[in-house]
Amino acid sequence: MWNGRPRPLPLVLILVLILILSTLAFTQEKPVALQGGKLLTVTHGVIENGVLVMQGGKITAVGAASAVTVPSGAQVVDVTGMTVYPGLIDSETSLGLTEISAEAMTNDLVEMSDEIMPHMHTAEAFHAESALIPVARMNGITNAVVAPAGADTLPGQDSFIQLAGGSATEMLLIRDNAMPLNFTGDERRNKVGFEKRKFPSTRMGLAAQLRQAFLDAQDYKAKWADYERKKADAIRDKKPEPLAPKRDLKSEALLPYLEGKKTIVLAAESPSDLETAVSLANEFKLKFVLNHIAHSQPILDYVASLNVPVIVGPIYEAPKEDERYDTVYSLPAQLYKRGVKIVFASYSAHNVRNLPDQAGFATAFGLPYDEALKAITINAAEIWGVADQLGSLDAGKTANVVVANGDPLDVKTDVKQVFIQGRAVPMTDRQVRLRDEYSR
């Protein structure tokens, strides 16, 4: 039945396309030099009339025009009057997990059969060909965290992606880079009428369930360690090997987090949710960053004392009934004043492109401009462990570079060209094609 949606491609054509695409590695062919632009390096200030050279997918030189030698054979692009800045990083999105919000079959956002689902991997649902990705990329967002939706306490593991590439394999820079632990109140979905209630229906229940999950994982680890020891003994003594314990995917998924090797993204809104979640995380010595905390203004000093970064907001979260209109708008500034490292996230898929607007708006409520820019570049790169590759215009880093006609944080600014790994990505998307089709 024709329902107005694209017809599926014939299988043969799909196979041919896969063959072609898999041979197109996403690499830069020849050096490119952006000349004459205003460079917002993020890490070492602003360079007026600067030159930035990209070669082999990396930034190879950044500096004043007088100080940089453009390699011979480079394609020189005159970007006089333009602003050049590092690709922006969105610290929480659902890119690749949704296409049309209201159409259930196009959504792979969260598995709701249980609250404890650490063995869900967003990387395995990530749809590289999503029409949403070029739309976001067109506005200079080059990297993003893909997170499952927040309805579970432990909904599964995040991925860190690059918004260009020939396939999901190329775009998924880090699989399972972090794991959300949600304590926002939204997980209390079983809190219904008494007759239909099932465990866990309260915050106590969620906490107990979570605690049990981590205890199970600790036991699981001990059981395997015990097995490995007995097995080694058996081999040494030339005796029959013991039977291996059954594998438990949930517990296995939790181990790197229990061992502090990976980051938990701890989401809470209110002070009591936040402090409960933090005490749980500390009970199991988890390494964590905070997420949201839009209604934790009364305990910001406590938040600062935790000495962890915060993914803040979104600042568009409505204040509580009795609060001043700008209570959440000013949260980034309040955190910054207390020395907290902050990053922004769109918490979106369709509106990822508007990530920089939020950073700009936060400056109107006291956040210094440089900090706002850092919050969508270098700070994010640091939190996600990729600061050696992303988040600033520095030689040696991946050449994810944006050329725009002005201030990256202003809604009016138009992005003219995005480079990902030094390659100029086509500045088009589904929306541009529709515009052009109906402009003829």
Partner 1 sequence: MRLLSRKIFALHCVWLALTLASAFGQSPGHHDVVIKNATVMTVTHGNIKNGSVYIKDGKTAAVGENVNAPATATVIDAGGKYLTPGIVDSHSHIALDDDVNEATSPITPHMMMKDAFDYQDKAIYRALAGGVTTSLLLHGSANMIGGQAVVIKHKYGASRDEMLFPNAPQSIKFASGENPKRVYGGRDQMPSTRMGNFAVQREALVQAQDYMREWDAYNAKVKRGDKDASAPKHDLKLEALADVLRGKLMVQIHIYRADEMLTEIAMAKEFGYKIRAFHHALEAYKVADQLAANNIAIAAFSDWWGYKQEAWDAIPWNATMSMRKGVRVAIKSDSEDYTRRLNQEAAKTMRYGGATEEEALKMITLNAAWIVGVDDRVGSIDVGKDADLVIWDGYPLSSYGVPEKVLINGEVYFDRALPGLGTTHYREGE
Least distance from partner 1 to the Cβ atom of residue 90, Å: 16
Task: Choose which of 132, 141, 181, 343 interacts with partner 1 (CB under 8 A).
Answer: 132
- Asked if 427 touches partner 1 (CB under 8 A), the answer is no
Task: Choose which of 105, 246, 325, 339 interacts with partner 1 (CB under 8 A).
Answer: 325
- Asked if 318 touches partner 1 (CB under 8 A), the answer is yes
Least distance from partner 1 to the Cβ atom of residue 350, Å: 4
Least distance from partner 1 to the Cβ atom of residue 4, Å: 8
Task: Choose which of 238, 246, 261, 412 interacts with partner 1 (CB under 8 A).
Answer: 412
Which residues does residue 47 pair with via DSSP β-bridges, in sequence order?
39
- Among positions 259-298, residues that touch partner 1 (CB under 8 A) are 298
Among 297, 369, 303, 315, residue whose Cα is nearest residue 341: 303
Task: Choose which of 4, 10, 45, 73 interacts with partner 1 (CB under 8 A).
Answer: 4
Stretch that binds partner 1, among 37-45, 59-67, 362-370, 419-427 (CB under 8 A): 362-370
How many whole angstroms separate alpha carbon 305 and alpha carbon 290?
12
Least distance from partner 1 to the Cβ atom of residue 407, Å: 8
Least distance from partner 1 to the Cβ atom of residue 51, Å: 27
Token pair of 170, please?
A: 């190329």
- Asked if 2 touches partner 1 (CB under 8 A), the answer is no
How many whole angstroms separate alpha carbon 17 and alpha carbon 22?
8
Stretch that binds partner 1, among 14-22, 254-262, 332-340, 410-418 (CB under 8 A): 410-418
Least distance from partner 1 to the Cβ atom of residue 432, Å: 8
- Asked if 75 touches partner 1 (CB under 8 A), the answer is no
Q: Identify the residue whose tokens are 């209110």.
A: 270
DSSP run (H or E) holding 327 = none
Least distance from partner 1 to the Cβ atom of residue 294, Å: 12
- Asked if 411 touches partner 1 (CB under 8 A), the answer is yes
Cα–chain-centroid distance for residue 329?
A: 21
Least distance from partner 1 to the Cβ atom of residue 391, Å: 21
Among 341, 338, 351, residue whose Cα is nearest residue 304: 338
288 in helix, strand or coil?
A: strand
Instruction: Using the minimum distance from each CB to partner 1, give the nearer residue, 109 or 349.
Output: 349
- Among positions 189-248, residues that touch partner 1 (CB under 8 A) are none
CB-CB contact of 296 with 327 (8 Å): no
Per-residue binding string, partner 1, 91-130, x by CB under 8 A, is --------xxxxx---------------------------
257: CB partners within 8 A, 6+ apart: 118, 179, 263, 264, 286, 287
Instruction: Using the minimum distance from each CB to partner 1, give the nearer residue, 8 or 10.
Output: 8
Question: What's phi and psi for 209, nearest 5 deg?
Answer: -65, -40
Per-residue binding string, partner 1, 297-316, x by CB under 8 A, is -x-----------------x
Q: Identify the residue whose tokens are 């955190």.
A: 335
How many residues of this chain bind partner 1 (CB under 8 A)? 42
Among 374, 172, 383, 178, residue whose Cα is nearest residue 261: 178
Task: Choose which of 350, 373, 374, 399 interacts with partner 1 (CB under 8 A).
Answer: 350
Task: Choose which of 137, 262, 295, 353 interacts with partner 1 (CB under 8 A).
Answer: 353
Write the DSSP symbol of residue 29. -
Task: Choose which of 134, 360, 391, 422 interacts with partner 1 (CB under 8 A).
Answer: 360
Task: Choose which of 24, 215, 364, 395 interacts with partner 1 (CB under 8 A).
Answer: 364
How many whole angstroms separate alpha carbon 77 and alpha carbon 74?
9
Q: Identify the residue whose tokens are 């100080």.
A: 67
How many whole angstroms separate alpha carbon 400 and alpha carbon 419?
5
Residue type, 317: E
- Alpha-carbon distances of 227 from 220, 221, 230, rounded to whole Å: 10, 10, 5
- Alpha-carbon distances of 140 from 133, 287, 355, 409, rounded to whole Å: 11, 30, 10, 11
Widest Cα–Cα separation across the chain = 82
Among 81, 143, 180, residue whose Cα is nearest residue 414: 81
Residue type, 340: V
Task: Choose which of 284, 361, 384, 419 interacts with partner 1 (CB under 8 A).
Answer: 361
Helix locations, 65-196, DSSP H: 132-137, 168-171
Stretch that binds partner 1, among 179-187, 303-311, 345-353, 381-389 (CB under 8 A): 345-353
Instruction: Using the minimum distance from each CB to partner 1, give the nearer residue, 292 or 350.
Output: 350
- Alpha-carbon distances of 108 from 116, 150, 268, 364, rounded to whole Å: 17, 12, 23, 36
Binding site residues, partner 1, CB under 8 A: 4-5, 99-103, 131-132, 298, 316, 318-319, 321-322, 324-326, 349-351, 353-354, 356-357, 360-361, 363-365, 409-414, 431-432, 434-435, 438-439
